[in-house]
Structure 1
Amino acid sequence: MSKIKVAVIGCGAIAQRRHIPEYEQNPNVELVAFCDPVIERAEKYAEKHGAKAYADYKELLAKEKVDAVSVCTPNALHAAVAIAAANAGAHVLVEKPMAGSAEEGRAMIEAASRNGVYLMVGHNQRLMPPHVKAKEILDSGKLGRVLTFRTSFGHPGPEGWSVDGKGSWFFRKGEAIMGAMGDLGVHKSDFIRYLLNDEVADIAAFVGTIHKEGTDVDDNATCILRMKSGAIGTLVASWTQYKGGDNSTVLWCENGVMEIGTGAGDQVEVKLRNGSVETYKVGAMATNEKQTDSGVINEFVNCLVTNTPPSISGEEGLRSLQVILAAFESQATGKVIAL
């Protein structure tokens, strides 16, 4: 089988730390083009792979015949780049949040469908080993129905992660559209939907900028969710967890409690009402400090190799995005928003 020709558009932190290294490790992939407005970033990888470097994604798509594209640009460009790639006949893997608005998200889904290509959103939380295990346990039914939950994702903020530090696009609303909610909150709205196999029915939220100076994007959010099943819980996203960052989820169920990533980040603990305790150490979750394989690239490439539509589809990405957009609406109006 010939290798899948891939272009990476946007060569910042997420491309450098996850997409490019994970493509490099995949035997089915040939990296043929890189694009970044800071051309030196693209040239560095182009040189390494005998590929082409571009400053403009439109020029790349016009000149290169690629099978697939990773969209690793600032959030505001996700839709435009993804639609252009789909129109060029390339399968698309787009970073989260998939878009800045529901309209953009729908346009991306429509473009992929019209061009007969796949659209996958990089919601890596579904693929983290503790989360895969938690889903398996919950689906087994041993815990019964989920009654209440909390899910949280926080770290010190993108200044330590982004290639541009404090000058990062993450802090500029025109490019980022949203802050901690687009960076972390959307991961958790996606994860809780996936884990509970349920949709958010209503959301009330406080979203604001509490501590990051000189930015007009949110650095914290606390949301209350009611699911269609009736389960209620909280979702927290934070860029100000300067010590003791968090990526944990706790589910209180009819038959006991499941704690995911609460103590050691690599484990799932099930405490049943009958007194038994089960601990599953299943491998670590990727963090900004400790880059383990996110699983996203292998999942995407596998979809292309086996001709299987991605489970983390554009439609799934859109549903997870709509939860976050509703949280902003709740903050703006002071009302509970029905989805």
Structure 2
Amino acid sequence: MLNVAMISKWHVHAEGYASHLQSLGNVNITAVWDEVTDRGRAWAAQLGADFEADLDALLKREDVDAVVIDAPTSMHAEVMIAAANAGKHIFTEKSMALTVAECDQITEAVQRAGVKFCISFPARTRPHHLFAKQLLDDGLLGAVTLLRIRNGHDGALNNWLPEYWYDEKQAGGGAMMDLGCHPMYLASWLLGQPKRITSMFGYFTGRAVEDHAQCSIEFEGNAIALLETSLVTYLTPPAFELYGTEGTLIISGDAVKLASKHLDSRLQGWIAPRQLPKEQPLPLTAWVDGILNDRPMPFGLEDGTKLTELLETAYIAHRERRTVEFKQPGGN
């Protein structure tokens, strides 16, 4: 049995994470901490757990083996480093932190403590995206020239997100920092090292942070990714388009179309694959299993740092209204 503490109910996924943990049968939620005392106390009562007003006191508890962090993104580094120093395993909502420098501090603390770390990258567990990675690994698309991903909803348009979601001091940004994480980490996973980035952010509802955004990123091999996200679009169908020199993959909702020069000659043109890779366990499930059975984490410190690198640089490009070059490995 894994004893878990919930660290804040700030993130909109926190309640879902707690429900999922309780459904697994091998997790006991023992304690709750929240930077908003009344919210945390009420949530602890709902979960049948203890409320700890002091984070250090919670992290010293012997009935806390691990923590799920849903605190404001601006608090992630502080909270994760404290958890690692206390010897607690860590699961965190994205993004890992606001800057690569903070990610490096978290990484140092986690590695020094020898605890397990996992970040929530659910899009990398889904059959459609696993299929895309498989096609690239098998060379069926040739060299990638263009990747386009869209992810959006109407949370800001119809006001079903909490208003603190638009507080830059807490969230670190708007649509790109929230929903934009998914296109960002998918692009990093599929295309590798980024080279340069430009951003265009919009403020349709007039809030302090962007409510729709687009980033154009050039990756190694000269592949370009167009990553789009929005909190102001109605019934937004997710879109995923991957274009290569020898093939194309189009995913729209549950529909998948593939064309490749490497398919059997009888199948030239568009085909709909009959079988996709098996869906992988959700990151939270994999984290619990990894702790209890000493297995590697699917999405770790390096993955989280790469996402933050993309996000941090995207916001620099937006603020400074310019194309920003990424520091290349081994460069000065």
**TM-score past 0.5 threshold:** yes
Cα 1:249/1:312, change in 2 over 3 Å: same
1:126 is paired with a residue whose SS is: helix
Query: Do the aligned partners of 1:267 and 1:281 also contact (CA within 8 Å) in 2?
Result: no
Q: CA deviation at 1:9?
A: 0.7
Query: Do the aligned partners of 1:201 and 1:338 also contact (CA within 8 Å) in 2?
Result: yes
Q: With structure 2 as the length reference, what TM-score do the two structures score?
A: 0.87
Amino acid at match of 1:201: K
What's 1:15 paired with?
14
Q: How does 1:180-259 map to 2 (within 5 A)?
A: 180-196=175-191, 198-207=192-201, 209-213=202-206, 215-241=207-233, 243-259=234-250
Q: With structure 1 as the length reference, what TM-score do the two structures score?
A: 0.85
Amino acid at match of 2:224: I
Cα 1:62/1:180, change in 2 over 3 Å: same
2:226 is paired with a residue whose SS is: strand
1:84 is paired with a residue whose SS is: helix
Amino acid at match of 1:257: T
- 1:31, 1:322 → 2: CA distance? 32
Q: CA deviation at 1:10?
A: 1.2
Q: CA deviation at 1:92?
A: 0.6
What's 1:79 paired with?
77
What's 1:51 paired with?
49
- 2:111, 2:152 → 1: CA distance? 35
- 1:328, 1:166 → 2: CA distance? 22
Unaligned runs of 5+ in 1: 286-292
2:15 is paired with a residue whose SS is: helix
**2:288 aligned to which of 293, 298, 301:** 301
Q: CA deviation at 1:277?
A: 0.7
Bigger CA drift: 321-330 or 85-94?
Answer: 321-330
Q: Deviations over 1:129-176 (max 9, x none)?
A: 3222322233222222212121122111358686xx452x21111111
Cα 1:145/1:322, change in 2 over 3 Å: same
Amino acid at match of 1:272: S
Query: Do the aligned partners of 2:30 and 2:63 also contact (CA within 8 Å) in 1?
Result: no
Query: Do the aligned partners of 1:151 and 1:235 also contact (CA within 8 Å) in 2?
Result: yes
- 1:329, 1:233 → 2: CA distance? 18
- 1:325, 1:246 → 2: CA distance? 27
**2:174 aligned to which of 154, 171, 179:** 179
Percent identity between matched residues is: 28
**1:272 aligned to which of 227, 239, 260:** 260
Q: Deviations over 1:50-85 (max 9, x none)?
A: 421223433321345421111011111111111111
Q: Deviations over 1:27-71 (max 9, x none)?
A: 322211122244454445544554212234333213454211110
1:309 is paired with a residue whose SS is: coil
What's 2:265 paired with?
none
1:110 is paired with a residue whose SS is: helix
Query: Do the aligned partners of 2:283 and 2:298 also contact (CA within 8 Å) in 1?
Result: no
Q: CA deviation at 1:319?
A: 0.9
What's 1:170 paired with?
165
Cα 1:220/1:49, change in 2 over 3 Å: closer
- 2:88, 2:257 → 1: CA distance? 42
Query: Do the aligned partners of 1:267 and 1:280 also contact (CA within 8 Å) in 2?
Result: no
Query: Do the aligned partners of 1:154 and 1:238 also contact (CA within 8 Å) in 2?
Result: yes
Unaligned runs of 5+ in 2: 262-267, 327-332
- 2:282, 2:159 → 1: CA distance? 19
Cα 1:155/1:192, change in 2 over 3 Å: same
What's 1:146 paired with?
144
Superposition RMSD in Å? 2.6
Bigger CA drift: 32-41 or 326-335?
Answer: 32-41
- 2:144, 2:274 → 1: CA distance? 20
- 2:45, 2:282 → 1: CA distance? 26
